[in-house]
Amino acid sequence: MKDSIFKTYGVFIITFVLTLYTLGAGVIDNYVIYPTFVAVGENEFVAFRQVFSPRIVALLVVPLILRFVFSVLLLWLRPKAIRAWHVCIFLLCQIVAWISTFAVQLPIQFELDKGKNPELIQKLIESVWLRTSMNVVCAAIMIWMMFLVIRSLANNKNDKF
């Protein structure tokens, strides 16, 4: 039983941490780094992106993928206080963010890999609102789920260690 509880809470805690981490990293990427693209010289822009892009993949995209994987695991391995529909809404918000990324931001990013284009940079900056909104909603849902788990444990109604 303890092993099952450890797996359940472990998956939940890892998902919680990844959610807050990716929200912060995403906000920095979208609202700090993207606007600085304008300040990078035209001759240095492609080289800058060649250094920048792999780091974003390692520090943001990989954690986002891991968050999604752990979120799917939450459908089966979740504390009793969390309902499946909580996780489904959490996953839906992530899917909307991924759709926005693949449909809007990635095509712009691929064009920017070819060279600096101020109009595309502006379009990229303006396009992140949906993705950011979904990540904020994900964080809010995850904080709500954490509240439910803590309340449940405090009331000794469900899982006990």
d(CA 111, CA 149): 44
How far is the CA of 156 from the CAs of 13, 78, 142, in angstroms?
Answer: 19, 17, 21
pTM over 0.75: yes
Q: Kindly list the domain boundaries of the chain, sorted by start residue.
A: 2-155
Q: What is the pLDDT of residues 59-97, one digit of tens each?
A: 999 999 999 999 999 999 999 999 999 999 999 999 999
Evaluate if residue 4 carries a pLDDT over 90.
no
**CB-based contact 153:13 (threshold 8 Å):** no
Q: What is the pLDDT of residues 26-68, one digit of tens each?
A: 999 999 999 999 999 999 999 999 999 999 999 999 999 999 9
d(CA 78, CA 12): 6
DSSP letter string, 70-130 = HHHHTTTS--TTS-HHHHHHHHHHHHHHHHHIIIIIHHHHHHHTT---HHHHHHHHHHTHH
| pLDDT band for position 106 (cuts 50, 70, 90) | very high
Evaluate if residue 3 carries a pLDDT over 60.
no
d(CA 62, CA 73): 17
Q: What is the pLDDT of residues 120-159, one digit of tens each?
A: 999 999 999 999 999 999 999 999 999 999 999 898 755 5
The predicted structure's pLDDT at residue 7: 79
